[in-house]
Structure 1
Amino acid sequence: MRAILSGVHPKQGGQQSLELELIDVPYAVTDLAMIFMEKNALATFNVPIHRGVRNNMLKVRVDMQSFTFEHRGQSDFSWEMYFAFNVDHQPYLLQVESEYVSGRHQLTLSSYFEINSDDEEHALLDVHTNQNVDDFSITSINLTQGGLTVTGHDTINGQRLGQQTLILKDQASGEQVEYADTVNLLHGLFAITIPVDQLNAGHFYDLRIEYHFQGQLVDQRVIWTRALAGQNDVQPQSNGQTVKIQATPTSGVVISVLPPLPLTAKVAALGSKAGRVRNKVRQLNTKVNNRYMRWLFKRNHRPFETTTIIFESFGGRQVSDSPLAIYRLFKRLYPGFQLIWSVDRSAVAACKANGIPYVVRRTAKWVRTLEKARFWISNARFPAWVKKPKSVTYIQTWHGTPLKKLGLDIENVTMPGTNTAAYHRNFVNEANRWDALVSPNDYSTQIFRSAFGFNNQILKVGYPRNDELINASADDITALKQKLNIPLDKKVVLYAPTYRDNQFAEKGKYTFELPFDLDQFKAQFGTDTVLILRMHYLISNALDISGYGDFVYDLSSYPNISDLYLVSDLLITDYSSVFFDYAYLKRPILFYPYDYHLYKDELRGFYLDYEKDLPGEIAHDEATLLKDIELYLQRPDMSADPKFQKFYDRFCSINDGLAAWKVVNYVVHQIEQ
């Protein structure tokens, strides 16, 4: 039996909820408790668990302030965690493993806590007190063409900071440059960019921050407690000067300004850059067959000197989903890493248009890049013949909370090109290559364990792609509607059905016909409503919407479905898992399973009780569907609906808008180890 710390979430009053996952529980356990033991003082702290085990998940609420005490001037406390239980009145103690690595969570101006793991992957709660109240630890610091960008947490123990101001103080003259244009990067993170093009050449500047907290003005020096690897610490300016970030021995941050280079140095630098370009041109980028690919994967490739992360979404067909959310945050926080997308040739034009570094799949360069990288981040499976080196950490984000049965849970696979035994075998083989799997909730964690035969690390942080749903503002939604040419004065209905395993045209392609009359739909709603169609990417036939003008928008190929969630007022789906994500918005959801009994009884089946567990009404015919649309377009907020709120608490409550940051933090922690 194993007990794994799978998540830590803030609660009201400064408390934290620790979440434990129990694996391989062979018997009934009683008298549950969490026991914390401080490694140095050997003190113990016992927290009874009053709620029993549900779906092998436990939640324990603790106050981090209670993990400090007076002991010979000790200021740092490291607590091991143990799960205590009884079996047939016999007591047992199990040390808790860690699948969660937190950042620095400030408790007061002088104390903070972190969740770490020891050399044997056991969980540690590290609490630090008596810290310097003059220090403010930041999350990232980078120089860009726009200036010096600093990001950090905007709360202390759940209380918001206010009016953050970044200050550059000239060490020689004492003059200050201040900037307070704060951007909310993600929920809980702020970013400030301060121009540096007017700083004095040859001068050094200390970096400080001011903010309001609990009614007081706080002035602190900015500290950076990690190596600068991954940060962009040098940036040439248009005036010829070069600005550089330096860390002091005491973790402070100094900005230095180097004078313009002489002409001879510029020529030498240009020649070096041209040489690198010539080397890249010489790289082989020829499409080869699978046999040649397999042979290339068997060769030993030395890893890149620069930490390299490969991103892939839906087998290279898109630059989208959770890998894109993680990529964007890496690009902003750690631009010094090499970030590369693995894409099909069909996605190359989009990469070029958006300045996204890429490598084309199934080429010799692709093989070398995969093998020489340090991390793979994907939301689907790589081909089975792709070899994963031991030096690579493979993070699987997956692509949805499962409604339909997956992997080993599918008893009869009817998809073309495979059979049940082969499908099961391929799923397990692929899952065993994943070093970490992202999960959005306890429900998914349990299914992933069983359906994938997965026993490696699960990062239960929520899906990074859903951060956008939590962090988007009303202005963001307006901008999206303008981008998609959707009228601002009309309501939006989003129809996003699943593909059906029994409607395939050929291997990898499926057909679909709309199960409602567009003319009737337009007649009833067309004056003040528009309809967005979002078909599954496997659908091979293009839907004919000619003649419907500004009423119907076929956005099936639009890469980011989260944008479509944000602009819509109501979702219609059937068996697709999209409603799990859409529920974050607390907007109405309707279900239109016009072939429900066929799909349930003859195809893959469901994990949920489709009649009881869904967060919205079910319409089995077109007349009921149209009636429900008219009703629920008048109810934009479902927060007061008990059934909906119960669903939200079960499936959406852990995502705090920082899922991408938590995955980034996990990767950086692996690098530092």
Structure 2
Amino acid sequence: MSKPRISVIVPIYQVQSFLRECLDSILEQSFRDIEVIAVNDRSPDRCGEIVDEYAKADERVRALHLPENVGLGRARNAGMEIARGDYLFFLDSDDTLTPGSLQLIADRLAQTSDPDVLIFDYARTFWWGAATRNSLASVFQTEGPEVFTAKQRPEFLNLLMVVWNKVYRRDFVEQRGFQFPPGYYEDTPWTFPVLMSADRIAALDHVVVHYRQRRQGNILRTVSRKHFDIFDQYERVFAFMDSDPSLAEWRARLFTKMIDHFIAILAKSNRVPNELRSEFFALAHRHYRRYLPADYVRPDGHTGLRHALIARGAYPVYQTLKVANQGRRKVRKTVRASRKKVAGKRLDRHYEAALKQPIDQNLAVYSAYWGRGYVCNPAALHAKAKEIAPHIKGVVVAKQDEVKKLPPGTDFVIPGTARYWEVMARAKYFFNNVNFEDRFVKRPGTIHVQTQHGTPLKRMGIHMLPYPVAAKGTNFRKLLQRSDRWDFCISSNRFSSEIWEQAFPCSFAPLESGYPRNDVFYNSTADDVRRLRDELGIPQGKIAVLYAPTHRDYTTGFVPQLDLARLTDALGDGFVVLMRGHHFYEQTPELQALQASTRVIDVTSHTSSEELQLAADVLLADYSSMMFDYANLDRPIVIYANDWDAYTVSRGVYFDLLEEPPGHVARTQDELHDIFVSDAWKDERSDALRGSFRRKFCEYDDGRASERVIRQILLGEPAEELPVVPLDERTPAPSPTAAQAESMKEPAVGQSRAA
């Protein structure tokens, strides 16, 4: 096996929603003379599976699974031990390479005759889509030799102290014995010794790495004592300089950078715990005294003042300076907030008083679609909690006109009322398939479960940013603030888990339980199917086609995509269409006009979409998430995608439905008619497509999702206590045809089966 030019070492830990993007950015480069060493640092999520998937698909990927979690630095060391490339490139697993960048690196290495180190640039990328090039990018335009030492061009030491904006000649690294230490800030004792030691350094004026600014999940933004590791790391840097007298001239520069680094950590509220800040300051003072060089010149301005306070160990004065600056900012913020209060609403006094009361440890709130009553995942969870966790009192949020639809005996609150705010203030558990209003306060100790309301085909959360038609003025900052309340987020498959983490970059944990609302598809009987068809008025023997079009962001009202009169004429008397319009369009004149047809049953106002699906023989869908739910029933699905191009442009999608459909696809109404008239809707091809679709998207839906969630959240039981039933071992509710056939076998009332 030939030696690759570049070994890209990717240490991996809890990045399942970013890892594919990272690996794709490497493997899709035009320059292919590489190996990718994917080091799974005992990641508790599905990173290991993803790594194996890529290693199986591309021989350039080498999967290395560590037996225990060792941290970023030592994971890089493990990758180095098996690297074979001429050059080492350490890329963090949530970052990406820009297109064509590896070819530019290879070209520059050749132009500069294989330097020890090649430095290149990066840009910060943000969750809202913006990208900002390194603020010190001008260093690449400074004058100096093309190939240089750090002494010749010391300005390069002002760049961010990271390992991933460089490639390193492997022979040079091995000869000098460079290794990454354990702990936080492990790049510091690597970067400085490497640059000070290199005899030949070159630069590439190009953005190679997109450095992802994670809104949540960045380990250095985690409040903990681990930030004290910075002191050990600088001790390593100074020990390295002390080992070589020729490096003494670097001492003043490195000392200044060290103190600046300490100040930067202290300045962040999300680093050192408040109760440990004085101890951190004392250690900074100790390092100041221990490593102070004779030729040190204190910086000017506020930075110099902070240096002086650390030199004196004057923590109280340092804090006073910080508080004074915060005070000035707080005054400005208070003025702005006061102006907003004039125009906005305030929490009422009743709610404020209730927030001061103890949390009721046995109170849970269930809400769906901003109070639309007893529907979706929250309703299924409420019902299961009554069964297996009766000590938890459940309260359903329901608007006034939805109260009459609640199951008898259901406790409820009407949004905006005094009792509503009292319950919201004191409940321990919250289940919602959307978000609670902005004024709602999440109290410490409460648990919020985002149940979601479907598997995402269309773009969600911050992924809507590039689609202004769909976003329609959405305040994404507030959206994420609301989503920050989530402790758990339910998903029905691995595909969704990764999407939720990307679309809502918050700190929730995935709850891969399956969708509670889909339990009914496995727990219903033939009697249930027959009863529902009778209640809906479906004539016996007719094939019921459930048509459930989704909302179009590019229209301002209900615009029929399908001529139902033509469809029913084509289908003939053997069919009936159950028309369920999106709840945005309930009671529109267009839907009311359809009720005049005897072949169309308007079920738009029917509370339970799950009951409609149980009653249907076939689903006629477009882009609604109902297709993912209905697939659990293993009944035929037909996709009508007449405006697919317009929909994808206006809303954006996560995968090409036309390439991965759950059944036959029609792009025109004539094609749709042909699918039904020819009986293709229920042929072997339809079954095969649906089978593939179910394997991917019905992964966790096995009829026990509600129980999994309630046992884990309300009863505190481990998730593995109720494993998911394999897809091939599940038995969905019988189809209407099977249910009818079963009824024909049953004896009439008063007649024995033996007769």
Q: Which category of TM-score, normalised to the shorter sequence, fits these structures?
A: 0.5 to 0.7
Preserved contact between residue 619 and residue 638 of structure 2 (Cα < 8 Å) = yes
Q: Once the 2 structures are TM-superposed, how far is the Cα of residue 489 of structure 1 from its aligned partner?
A: 1.5
Q: Once the 2 structures are TM-superposed, how far is the Cα of residue 497 of structure 1 from its aligned partner?
A: 0.8
Letter of the 1:607 counterpart: Y
Q: Once the 2 structures are TM-superposed, how far is the Cα of residue 520 of structure 1 from its aligned partner?
A: 2.5
Letter of the 2:524 counterpart: A
* Corresponding position of 1:411: 465
Counterpart-to-counterpart distance in 2, 1:639 and 1:538: 31
Q: Once the 2 structures are TM-superposed, how far is the Cα of residue 347 of structure 1 from its aligned partner?
A: 1.2
* Corresponding position of 1:437: 489
* Corresponding position of 1:618: 665
Counterpart-to-counterpart distance in 1, 2:452 and 2:715: 21
Letter of the 2:388 counterpart: L
| 1:334-349 paired onto structure 2 within 5 Å | 334-349=389-404
SS at match of 1:87: helix
**Higher strand proportion (structure 1 or 2):** 1
User: Is residue 323 from structure 1 mapped to residue 378 from structure 2 by the alignment?
Assistant: yes
Counterpart-to-counterpart distance in 2, 1:310 and 1:636: 45
* Corresponding position of 1:119: none
State which of 450, 454, 466 in structure 1 corresponds to 2:506: 454
Q: Once the 2 structures are TM-superposed, how far is the Cα of residue 416 of structure 1 from its aligned partner?
A: 9.0
State which of 431, 441, 464 in structure 2 corresponds to 1:387: 441
Preserved contact between residue 467 and residue 657 of structure 1 (Cα < 8 Å) = yes
Letter of the 1:503 counterpart: T
| 1:201-212 paired onto structure 2 within 5 Å | none
* Corresponding position of 1:521: 567
Q: Once the 2 structures are TM-superposed, how far is the Cα of residue 626 of structure 1 from its aligned partner?
A: 1.1
* Corresponding position of 1:660: 706
* Corresponding position of 1:469: 521
Q: Once the 2 structures are TM-superposed, how far is the Cα of residue 374 of structure 1 from its aligned partner?
A: 0.6
User: Is residue 644 from structure 1 mapped to residue 644 from structure 2 by the alignment?
Assistant: no
Question: Residues 470 and 3 (structure 1 numbering): CA distance in 2 closer, same or farther, change over 3 Å?
Answer: farther
SS at match of 1:557: coil
Deviation string, structure 1 residues 352-409 (Cα, Å, up to 9, x no partner): x632110110112111111111101010111112111113211110101111111111
Deviation string, structure 1 residues 570-624 (Cα, Å, up to 9, x no partner): 11121212111111122221121222222222x1111101331222222121111
Letter of the 2:669 counterpart: E
| 1:294-373 paired onto structure 2 within 5 Å | 295-299=349-353, 300-303=355-358, 305=360, 307-351=362-406, 354-373=408-427
SS at match of 1:374: strand
Counterpart-to-counterpart distance in 1, 2:383 and 2:181: 42
* Corresponding position of 1:575: 623
Deviation string, structure 1 residues 202-250 (Cα, Å, up to 9, x no partner): xxxxxxxxxxxxxxxxxxxxxxxxxxxxxxxxxxxxxxxxxxxxxxxxx
Preserved contact between residue 436 and residue 458 of structure 1 (Cα < 8 Å) = yes
* Corresponding position of 2:81: 89
Question: Residues 636 and 618 (structure 1 numbering): CA distance in 2 closer, same or farther, change over 3 Å?
Answer: closer
Letter of the 2:80 counterpart: D
Letter of the 1:557 counterpart: S
Question: Residues 563 and 54 (structure 1 numbering): CA distance in 2 closer, same or farther, change over 3 Å?
Answer: farther
Letter of the 1:87 counterpart: G
* Corresponding position of 2:750: none
Counterpart-to-counterpart distance in 1, 2:48 and 2:444: 39
* Corresponding position of 2:59: none
Deviation string, structure 1 residues 609-659 (Cα, Å, up to 9, x no partner): 133122222212111111112344762887851x33222111112222111
Taking structure 2 as the reference length, the TM-score comes to 0.51
* Corresponding position of 2:454: 400
User: Is residue 556 from structure 1 mapped to residue 555 from structure 2 by the alignment?
Assistant: no
* Corresponding position of 1:499: 551
Counterpart-to-counterpart distance in 2, 1:462 and 1:656: 7
Question: Residues 416 and 546 (structure 1 numbering): CA distance in 2 closer, same or farther, change over 3 Å?
Answer: closer
When structure 1 is superposed on structure 2, of 543-552 and 363-372 the one drifting more is 543-552
Deviation string, structure 1 residues 15-64 (Cα, Å, up to 9, x no partner): xxxxx95777978554759699xxxxxxxxxxx9787345999xxxxxxx
Preserved contact between residue 595 and residue 601 of structure 2 (Cα < 8 Å) = no
Question: Residues 32 and 600 (structure 1 numbering): CA distance in 2 closer, same or farther, change over 3 Å?
Answer: closer
Deviation string, structure 1 residues 400-423 (Cα, Å, up to 9, x no partner): 111111111113454699525x2x
Counterpart-to-counterpart distance in 2, 1:455 and 1:462: 20
Counterpart-to-counterpart distance in 2, 1:404 and 1:417: 12
Unaligned 5+ segments in structure 1 are 5-19, 37-47, 58-80, 95-288, 505-510
Preserved contact between residue 304 and residue 372 of structure 1 (Cα < 8 Å) = yes
Letter of the 1:410 counterpart: M
SS at match of 1:315: coil
Question: Residues 397 and 584 (structure 1 numbering): CA distance in 2 closer, same or farther, change over 3 Å?
Answer: same
| 1:69-88 paired onto structure 2 within 5 Å | 82=68, 86-88=78-80
Counterpart-to-counterpart distance in 1, 2:488 and 2:55: 19
Question: Residues 2 and 618 (structure 1 numbering): CA distance in 2 closer, same or farther, change over 3 Å?
Answer: same
Counterpart-to-counterpart distance in 2, 1:547 and 1:397: 33
Letter of the 1:585 counterpart: L
Q: Once the 2 structures are TM-superposed, how far is the Cα of residue 454 of structure 1 from its aligned partner?
A: 2.7
The number of equivalent residue pairs is: 421
Unaligned 5+ segments in structure 2 are 1-10, 24-35, 57-66, 84-179, 183-342, 719-755
Q: Once the 2 structures are TM-superposed, how far is the Cα of residue 294 of structure 1 from its aligned partner?
A: 5.2
* Corresponding position of 1:490: 542
Letter of the 2:632 counterpart: Y
Counterpart-to-counterpart distance in 1, 2:497 and 2:469: 25
Question: Residues 327 and 29 (structure 1 numbering): CA distance in 2 closer, same or farther, change over 3 Å?
Answer: farther
Letter of the 1:430 counterpart: R
Preserved contact between residue 549 and residue 582 of structure 2 (Cα < 8 Å) = yes
Counterpart-to-counterpart distance in 1, 2:509 and 2:469: 29
SS at match of 1:88: helix
* Corresponding position of 2:51: 52
When structure 1 is superposed on structure 2, of 616-625 and 592-601 the one drifting more is 592-601
| 1:95-494 paired onto structure 2 within 5 Å | 291=345, 293=347, 295-299=349-353, 300-303=355-358, 305=360, 307-351=362-406, 354-414=408-468, 419=473, 422=475, 424-494=476-546
Letter of the 2:506 counterpart: F
Letter of the 1:411 counterpart: L
Preserved contact between residue 359 and residue 426 of structure 2 (Cα < 8 Å) = yes
Letter of the 1:311 counterpart: Y
Question: Residues 485 and 22 (structure 1 numbering): CA distance in 2 closer, same or farther, change over 3 Å?
Answer: closer
Counterpart-to-counterpart distance in 2, 1:361 and 1:325: 20
Query: Larger C-alpha radius of gyration, 1 or 2?
Result: 2
Counterpart-to-counterpart distance in 2, 1:312 and 1:550: 36
Question: Residues 491 and 467 (structure 1 numbering): CA distance in 2 closer, same or farther, change over 3 Å?
Answer: same
SS at match of 2:581: coil
Letter of the 2:663 counterpart: G
* Corresponding position of 2:174: none
**Higher helix proportion (structure 1 or 2):** 2
Letter of the 2:423 counterpart: T
Counterpart-to-counterpart distance in 2, 1:339 and 1:634: 43
Counterpart-to-counterpart distance in 2, 1:519 and 1:93: 72
Taking structure 1 as the reference length, the TM-score comes to 0.56
Preserved contact between residue 3 and residue 22 of structure 1 (Cα < 8 Å) = no
Preserved contact between residue 638 and residue 681 of structure 2 (Cα < 8 Å) = no
Counterpart-to-counterpart distance in 2, 1:569 and 1:471: 18
Counterpart-to-counterpart distance in 2, 1:354 and 1:636: 43
Counterpart-to-counterpart distance in 1, 2:435 and 2:715: 24
Question: Residues 318 and 624 (structure 1 numbering): CA distance in 2 closer, same or farther, change over 3 Å?
Answer: same
Question: Residues 390 and 294 (structure 1 numbering): CA distance in 2 closer, same or farther, change over 3 Å?
Answer: farther
SS at match of 1:582: helix
SS at match of 1:383: coil
* Corresponding position of 2:280: none
Percent pairwise identity: 25
